[in-house]
Amino acid sequence: MTDAILVLNAGSSSIKFAIYAHTNVRSPALMSGKVINLSHTPQFLANGVDGRPLPQKNMMTFDETTTHENIVSWLLGWVEHENQGYTIRCVGHRVVHGGRDYAKPILLTTSIISQLKALVPLAPLHQPHSLSAIAAVSKWAPKLPQVACFDTSYHYTQEPLARFFALPREWYDRGIIRYGFHGLSYQYIANSLPCYLGELAEGRVIVAHLGNGASMCAMKKRQSVATSMGFTALDGLMMGQRCGSLDPGVVVHLVRHYKMSIEEIEHMLYNDSGLLGVSGISNNMQVLQNSSHPHAKQAIELFCYKAVQELSSLVSTINGIDAIVFTAGIGENSAQIRQQICDRLTWLGVSLDTGANTTHQHVISHPDSLVKVLIIPTNEELIIAQETQSLITTQ
């Protein structure tokens, strides 16, 4: 039997899992898969070590009322049932918010889990899902070591200036700062950059993580200098259901004039806004691209407009730009979105190779482009497995 690490990545619209050999944590995983479209018509897909889809025996019927914990419990049963000669020795989780205290991965204890629960208000769409996954594993195998790997950790290299809000100083001291998210994805891209860029990897790079949740990170020497998400995962880019950056005066106005409750506003900003809110059709980019409705077109245009605004602002934090990397569901798969964004960046010297872009090559910039443009598929699960393995072996 091979000792193995199980990785659980509970996101806002999907739950991904992967199993890696404990002694040899590298891609591809021994087994991997995901449950996608959690809020609509959840669908389960899994692949074996050769990347081929596994037969979907023992399927559970999901619907939008099935809880995250139920889905993870089912997934754990499925992993056990499909066992291909491994013994799970530990579990690594993606946890979105580590607050001020957790700059590194940590072995979970009851008291740490309680501290992570206290951070739910800072990431209401994500933190509860990670906690549900942790709870499901605790019931499945109470003695199994579980490790939390944080999306906030990667941004600890930022200078205080990049983390300040221009609020009275006491709020900075109380932790009202820009934390930044998608750190596991950025860490994977940062580790991969030398492969694609050689020495340029140490230069000025902006990574656009465009999924259902979306953010950008400006890197220098492969470290985070600034990022578009802030105190919560609501700030910055327009997303699937989240509004992104918003004049805070709007919130004050909604409370005072429309008497909206905090819960109503929170729900609107996190669940009813973004692509879904503007289109009135869907949070799913693929669905909008296939729609001929003018509101779908406008939602896509706004998504790209906001992405260009954020990217342009991040360029200033690293004094220029050598490369742009597109990653995550939209960034990796939508040639149309990459084209629409890059068309607005010609002033920076960005020029796409249309053929390379439409066929999703790794390098999609034209040879004459002043800025290299790449597609790098992200792999948060691999980073979680590596961090988990490293922590467990040093215990």
Catalytic residues: 151
Q: Does 209 show up as a binding residue in the annotation?
A: yes
Of all residues in the shown chain, the one whose CB is closest to ligand ADP is 329
For residues 67 and 58, the answer to whether their CB atoms sit within 8 Å is no
Strand order in the sheet with 223-227: 223-227, 214-220, 204-210, 323-327, 372-375
- Collapse the DSSP code of 236 into the 3-class scheme (helix H, G, I; strand E, B; otherwise coil) and give the result: coil
Q: Does 331 show up as a binding residue in the annotation?
A: yes
For residues 121 and 60, the answer to whether their CB atoms sit within 8 Å is no
**Minimal distance, residue 325 CB to ligand ADP, in Å:** 14
- Collapse the DSSP code of 223 into the 3-class scheme (helix H, G, I; strand E, B; otherwise coil) and give the result: strand
- Are β-strands 323-327 and 223-227 bridged in parallel, bridged antiparallel, or unpaired? unpaired
**Minimal distance, residue 173 CB to ligand ADP, in Å:** 32
**Minimal distance, residue 377 CB to ligand ADP, in Å:** 10
Handedness of CA 193, 196, 201, 206 (dihedral sign): negative
Nearer to ligand ADP, 190 or 300 (CB): 300
Nearer to ligand ADP, 14 or 388 (CB): 14
Q: Does 212 show up as a binding residue in the annotation?
A: yes
Amino acid at site 384: I
H or E segment and range at residue 306 = helix 294-317
- Collapse the DSSP code of 75 into the 3-class scheme (helix H, G, I; strand E, B; otherwise coil) and give the result: helix
Distance CA 60, CA 37 (A): 15
Q: Does 58 show up as a binding residue in the annotation?
A: no
Q: Does 329 show up as a binding residue in the annotation?
A: yes
Nearer to ligand ADP, 146 or 185 (CB): 185
Distance CA 44, CA 41 (A): 10
**Minimal distance, residue 240 CB to ligand ADP, in Å:** 5
Count Cβ atoms within 10 A of the Cβ of residue 60 and give its class: 0-12 exposed, 13-18 middle, 19 or more buried.
Answer: middle
Q: Which residues bind ligand ADP (CB under 6 A)?
A: 11-14, 211-213, 240, 284-286, 289, 328-330, 333-334
Q: Does 259 show up as a binding residue in the annotation?
A: no
For residues 54 and 29, the answer to whether their CB atoms sit within 8 Å is no
Nearer to ligand ADP, 284 or 351 (CB): 284
**Minimal distance, residue 380 CB to ligand ADP, in Å:** 8
Nearer to ligand ADP, 102 or 326 (CB): 326
Annotated binding site for substrate: 94
Annotated binding site for ATP: 16, 209-213, 329-333
Annotated binding site for Mg(2+): 9, 380
Annotated binding site: 9, 16, 94, 209-213, 329-333, 380
